[in-house]
Amino acid sequence: MINRQVMAYKTAEVGTASKLKLVIMMYDGAIRFLVECKKRIDAGDIAGRGLYISKAQRIIGELQESLNVQQGGEIAVQLEQLYGFVIQNLTKANIKGDKTAIDQALHVLENLRGAWREVMQNAQAKATADQQSSSAPRIAVQL
């Protein structure tokens, strides 16, 4: 019962989230899976390692597929390269159980998540400022 309620909440959260928030949620998920993967490596759980790397790779793949190089220009190209680096490291980690490769992927993903959070905060601040300036009472002064 509680599992269904959690899933319903998560579905509603994703369904109502802005595009920026969805991107950040995807980074959060990939990072969470890679942290869990490191625990599985420490425990010697090869199947668990593979499962969590696979989940992270699917998220990164979705992020990579969503890039629009024509609209995004150089930033989209750079993101595509970073995602390629992350996927390559995760493949290496899956084959060899290499926690260093996971740490390198985590470093990239955490930095990107931070950058997207900053973009979202700036967009929210601008929207708030725009809203406040358009709804500010106007006082006419007669002399």
Which pLDDT tens digit goes with each residue over 32-47? Answer: 999 999 999 999 999 9
Q: How many angstroms separate the CA atoms of 122 and 130, rounded?
A: 12
Instruction: Tell me which residue of 90, 80, 98, 97 sits closest to 33, measured CA to CA.
Output: 90
- The model's pLDDT over 84-136, given as tens digits with 9 standing for 90+, comes to 999 999 999 999 999 999 999 999 999 999 999 999 998 888 877 777 766 65
**What is the spatial distance between Cα 90 and Cα 27, in angstroms, rounded to a whole number?**
15
Residue ranges and CATH numbers for the domains of the chain are: 18-122 (1.20.120.340)
Q: How far apart are the first and last CA of the chain?
A: 69
Percent of all residues in the chain with a pLDDT value above 90, rounded to a whole number:
69
Cα angle 119, 32, 43 (rounded to 5 degrees) comes to: 155
